[in-house]
Chains A and B, each alone.
Chain A
Amino acid sequence: MSQQASDILITILGGSAILLFLGFTLIFLIIVYRKKQQEFSQQKTLLEENFKKELMQAQLETQEQTFHSLSQELHDNIGQVLSLAKLNMSVIELNSKGPSDESISQTKSLLNTAINDLRDISKTLNTDYVKEKDLAESIERELGMLRRTRKFEAQMSVKGNPFFLAPERRLILYRIVQESLNNIVKHAGATCISVTLDYGAEALTITITDNGHGFDTTLTPKGVGLLNISHRAAMIESTVTINSAIASGTSVSIKVDRLNNGRS
Chain B
Amino acid sequence: MTQLWYLYIFLIGCNLAAGFLRWRLLSPPMKALCLLLCWGFTIELFRQYTDKATAGVLTHLNLNVELLFQFAYYYLLLDKKKRGFLYAGLTVFGTALFVTWQVNPNFFRERNYLDGVYLGVCMTLWCGLFFYELIQKPLQYSLKSDGNFWANCGNILFYPGTMLLFGLGNYMEHINSELWQSLKSINYALNLTLYALYLVAFCRDRKQAIPISPRLYIGA
Contact = CB atoms under 8 A, between A and B. Distances in A.
Given A8-B171, A22-B160, A37-B218, A31 B143 contact: yes
Interface in B124-170: 128, 131, 134-135, 139, 143, 153, 156-157, 160-165, 168
Contacts of B160: 19-20, 22-23
A26 B132 CA distance: 11
B88 interface: no
Contacts of B153: 27
Contact of A30 (B131, B162, B179, B183): B131
A227 to B, nearest CB: 32
A12 B139 contact: no
Interface residues of B, number: 25
B186 interface: yes
A34 B176 contact: no
Interface string A1-40: 1101100110111011001101110110011011001100
Nearest to B172: A8
A82 B143 CA distance: 73
Contacts of B156: 23, 26-27
A16 B218 contact: no
Given A30-B135, A34-B135, A41-B139, A1 B176 contact: yes
Contact of B157 (A5, A15, A20, A41): A20
Contact of A34 (B143, B162, B183): B143
A84 B156 CA distance: 90
Contacts of B4: none
Contacts of A12: 164-165, 168, 172, 183
Contacts of A19: 160-161, 163-164
Nearest to A31: B143
A263 to B, nearest CB: 15
A117 to B, nearest CB: 46
A23 B168 contact: no
A157 to B, nearest CB: 42
Secondary structure of the A contact surface, majority rule:
helix
Nearest to A42: B139
B216 interface: yes
A33 B135 CA distance: 8
Contacts of A27: 153, 156-157
A2 B176 contact: yes
B8 to A, nearest CB: 18
B175 interface: yes
Contact of B172 (A5, A30, A33): A5
Nearest to A39: B139
Contacts of B168: 8, 11-12
A15 B164 contact: yes
Contacts of A20: 157, 160-161
Interface of A: 1-2, 4-5, 8-9, 11-13, 15-16, 19-20, 22-24, 26-27, 30-31, 33-34, 37-38, 41
29 contacts: A1-B176, A2-B175, A5-B175, A8-B171, A9-B172, A9-B183, A11-B164, A12-B164, A15-B164, A16-B162, A16-B163, A16-B164, A19-B160, A20-B157, A22-B160, A23-B157, A23-B161, A26-B128, A26-B131, A26-B156, A27-B156, A30-B135, A30-B143, A31-B143, A33-B135, A34-B139, A34-B143, A41-B139, A41-B216
Given A12-B168, A27-B153, A30-B135, 17 more contacts: A2-B176, A5-B172, A5-B175, A8-B168, A8-B172, A9-B172, A19-B160, A19-B164, A20-B161, A23-B156, A23-B157, A23-B160, A26-B156, A30-B134, A30-B143, A33-B135, A37-B218
